[in-house]
Amino acid sequence: MSAETNTPSYVVSDRNLALELVRVTEAAAVASARWTGRGKKNDADGAAVEAMRKAFDTVAIDGTVVIGEGEMDEAPMLYIGEKVGAGGPAMDIAVDPLEGTNLCAKDMPNAITVVALAERGNFLHAPDVYMDKLIVGAGLPDDVIDLDASIGENLRNLAKARGRHIGDITLCALERERHEELIAKTREAGARVRLISDGDVAAGIAACLETSSVDIYAGSGGAPEGVLAAAAVRCMGGQMQARLMFEDDAQRERAQKMNPNKQPDRKLGLHDLASGDVLFSATGVTTGFLLKGVKRMPHRSVTHSLVMRSKSGTLRFIEGYHNYNTKTWSVS
């Protein structure tokens, strides 16, 4: 904290920090793009993890990974609890070095690399379970979505609040057997359904972008991805509700242990998932809803990233040209 202004110290240099963050997601995207379309999702993921971990070495923070690649004994790098950064303000870090490993392996739309930062204690420590999610964009009354209401009711409320016919509302969901009822009920209510095979962080962001054709994201996906989506939704002024889905008591107890002051079973609001001043960066690996994928050329790669901050609500799309001969991180 600065004693004079009562301002957290990282705020002073937050503009630089946002730019440092984009380097982290760019590095992971360029590394994983070497594996695009090669059918090897683990190699693509491994390349992204390694490049992202290395890129964090230059970021001026005292970072702790709270959403990462799993527990210390499961993942060699970017595991939960790992310390990263070159030193600076104490920050919690949420990462998904390659969100949509299959999308990258199959060269399908919407594989992205993702990082979010907040001052310590501001992200839900999400265990590796499913999370039920409901996301809409900005400019709507506070109570427009409710995870406990039927999907039909949510769609009708959204259409009314947007001043649109329900037939012009598009809901996006992962194409999974577990979503058959959600999909059927959405169509029954008169709305459209956009199905995706993977990548619900990008889909959640799309629900908040006025320029996208997605109006609402619904359904269950990874809980860690839910926290990353929440970080983005905070920056974009959207709304999100969620609930962790436990298969047994052991999962529930684990979530409770990870978040001693929260009740893991309850409906979570946006600020339960990501609070405080949040910085978010994502870089496209394959071209999708939001971002162009990495373009590989003989001597350099071009990346397309989205960088946002909740305090200012500014969204920036950044195009980076990375020269293979001069980069400190490996891009070959």
Ligand X SMILES: O=P(O)(O)OC[C@H]1O[C@](O)(COP(=O)(O)O)[C@@H](O)[C@@H]1O
222 binds ligand X (CB under 6 A): yes
198 binds ligand X (CB under 6 A): yes
Burial class from Cβ neighbours inside 10 Å (0-12, 13-18, 19+) for residue 13 reads middle
Q: Is 101 annotated as a binding residue?
A: yes
Task: Pick the stretch among 94-102, 134-142, 244-252, 305-313 that binds ligand X (CB under 6 A).
Answer: 94-102
Residue ranges in 157-186 that form contacts with ligand X under rule CB under 6 A: 174, 176
Q: Tokens for 223, please give them.
A: 């809980």
Find the binder of ligand X among 89, 137, 221, 320 (CB under 6 A): 221
Question: Could you give the CA distance from residue 96 to residue 272 in angstroms, rounded to a whole number?
Answer: 20
Which is closer to ligand X, CB of 60 or CB of 75? 75
102 binds ligand X (CB under 6 A): yes
Which is closer to ligand X, CB of 52 or CB of 61? 52
Whose CA is closest to 224, among 200, 249, 198?
Answer: 200
Question: Could you give the CA distance from residue 258 to residue 326 in angstroms, rounded to a whole number?
Answer: 42
Q: Is 249 annotated as a binding residue?
A: no
Instruction: Count other Cβ atoms within 10 Å, centred on residue 79.
Output: 16
Whose CA is closest to 311, among 20, 7, 87?
Answer: 7
Find the binder of ligand X among 32, 101, 301, 310 (CB under 6 A): 101
100 binds ligand X (CB under 6 A): yes
- Identify any residues that bridge with 174 across adjacent strands, giving them in sequence order: 196
272 binds ligand X (CB under 6 A): no
Question: Could you give the CA distance from residue 106 to residue 120 in angstroms, rounded to a whole number?
Answer: 37
46 binds ligand X (CB under 6 A): no
Sign of CA pseudo-dihedral 261, 225, 112, 83:
positive
What is residue 167's DSSP assignment? G
* Cβ contact 201:114 at 8 Å: yes
Question: Could you give the CA distance from residue 283 to residue 318 in angstroms, rounded to a whole number?
Answer: 9
* DSSP conformation letters of 82-151: -EESSS-SEEEEEEEEEE-HHHHHTT-TT-EEEEEEEETT-B----SSEEEEEEE-SSS-TTS--TTS-H
In whole angstroms, how close is the CB of 198 to ligand X at the nearest point? 3
Task: Pick the stretch among 65-73, 217-225, 243-251, 320-328 that binds ligand X (CB under 6 A).
Answer: 217-225
Which is closer to ligand X, CB of 127 or CB of 199? 199
Which is closer to ligand X, CB of 63 or CB of 222? 222
Q: Is 272 annotated as a binding residue?
A: no
106 binds ligand X (CB under 6 A): no
199 binds ligand X (CB under 6 A): yes
In whole angstroms, how close is the CB of 317 to ligand X at the nearest point? 21
219 binds ligand X (CB under 6 A): no
Give the nearest residue (CB) to ligand X: 221
Find the binder of ligand X among 26, 82, 200, 272 (CB under 6 A): 200
119 binds ligand X (CB under 6 A): no
**What character string, x for contact with ligand X (CB under 6 A) and - otherwise, covers 284-313?**
------------------------------
Q: Which helix (H) or strand (E) holds 173?
A: strand 170-174
Q: How many residues bind ligand X (CB under 6 A)?
A: 13
What are the binding residues for substrate? 99-101, 130, 176-178, 198-200, 222
> Which residues are near ligand X by CB under 6 A?
99-102, 174, 176, 198-201, 221-222, 225
